[in-house]
Every structure is written in C-alpha cells, then in structure tokens.
Structure 1
Amino acid sequence: MNWQLQEARDKFSQVFEEAQRSGPQVITVGGEEAAILLSMDDYRRLLPHQETLAEFLMNSPLRGSGIEIERDQDFGRDVDL
C-alpha cells in the first residue's frame, strides 16, 4: 500500500502493523515513491546469505567425490644468510 508522508507520520502505528501483516509499505512524497517500511522478516529475506567457510566446504560439489588433493612437498630452496 502507498502512504503519503504526512499520512504515514500521523498513522505510523497503522503503517507499522500493515508492514507486519501485509508486507512492504511504500511512502510517497509529492506523488513520488520515496521510502519503504519493511518488517524485519522481509528485510532479512532481502539480505544475501553469508555462508561460513565450513558451510561452503560442506556444500562443495566435490564433497564425497573421492578426489584426493596432495600438497607439494617442495619446500623451496636453501638460502645461506
């Protein structure tokens, strides 16, 4: 639903309740969309999911593939200091 700024200010509790119940509420200024009020649940759905490194590795398509990765045993060259 769209709310004019003055109306949204005067009826903030109602705007807030509508955001919780019905979804994002658009606030207009001079007939132009200027802001939006979201419930916290709607806001969190918009945020990108940040996987931890452990989650990333657990979800890897190579997990369980049997691939074996060996580390190169070359430790470089000896240097006299």
Structure 2
Amino acid sequence: MTKPVDGNPSSKRPALPYGRWQLEDAKARFSELARRVLSDGPQHVTVHGRDEFVVIAATEFRRLQGEQTGQALVDALQASPHRDIDLMLAPSENSPVRAVKF
C-alpha cells in the first residue's frame, strides 16, 4: 500500500524512509533539505528509486576531503617496502633547468 507523501492524499508515490528524498521533492523543498542536513546529517536523494546523490554539510565535506598537503602521498612512499630503490629520472626536455648565479 502506498502512503501519501507529505499528507497529500492525491499523491500516489510511496513515502521514502527518513533521510531519503526523491529528486523532485528535494528540488521543491530544498530549504527543508538543507535544514535537515544540518540537524540530522547526510540526506540521500533518489532518482528512479536508486540512491544517486548524498547531500552533506560543507564542514563534513571538508573533513572527508582532508587537508590537501600531499602528506598522504609522502606517508605512502615512506611506508613502501621499495623505498630504498634509487630512481634515475631522465632530464625533462619540456622544462629545462637553467643555471642560476647566487
């Protein structure tokens, strides 16, 4: 049995679980979606019944993205069992190094 969405008896769509939005509802009620992101956490947006998007707060996005310092790459290279191999790189023809007098 389908439930009316938002108490609208003319709606034929089934109600989604809390924290899930159909795309058209997310667009129509974006302010409410944004408030729920801040108060309840990530909100899932479905397209044709499949989760396609997750809306999160900017602070959470920055936390997940991490500080982009390159430290993760340095740590991975230092943890490599092959870190003692000397790499001989050929000089680049695209960006030649010029002599600089100090």
Same fold (TM over 0.5): yes
Point out where structure 1 has 5 or more consecutive residues left out of the alignment.
Answer: 54-81
Q: How far is 1:51 from its partner?
A: 4.5
Identity %: 30
Point out where structure 2 has 5 or more consecutive residues left out of the alignment.
Answer: 1-18, 72-102
Name segments (4+ residues, structure 1) moved above 4 Å: none
Aligned AA (1:13): S
1:75 corresponds in structure 2 to none
What TM-score, normalized to structure 1?
A: 0.58
1:4 corresponds in structure 2 to 22
What TM-score, normalized to structure 2?
A: 0.47
Equivalent-residue separation in structure 2 for 1:15 and 1:44 (angstroms): 19
Equivalent-residue separation in structure 2 for 1:29 and 1:51 (angstroms): 36
3-state secondary structure, aligned to 2:33: helix
The answer on 1:46 being equivalent to 2:64 is: yes
Shift in CA distance, 51/25, structure 1 to aligned 2, threshold 3 Å: same
The CA RMSD over aligned residues, in Å, is: 2.0
Aligned AA (1:47): Q
Asked if the contact 1:23–1:38 (Cα under 8 Å) also holds between the matched residues in 2, the reply is yes
Q: How far is 1:37 from its partner?
A: 0.9
1:30 corresponds in structure 2 to 48
Q: How far is 1:50 from its partner?
A: 3.6
**1 or 2 for the larger relative contact order (CA 8 Å, sep ≥6)?**
1
Higher Cα Rg: structure 1 or 2?
Answer: 1
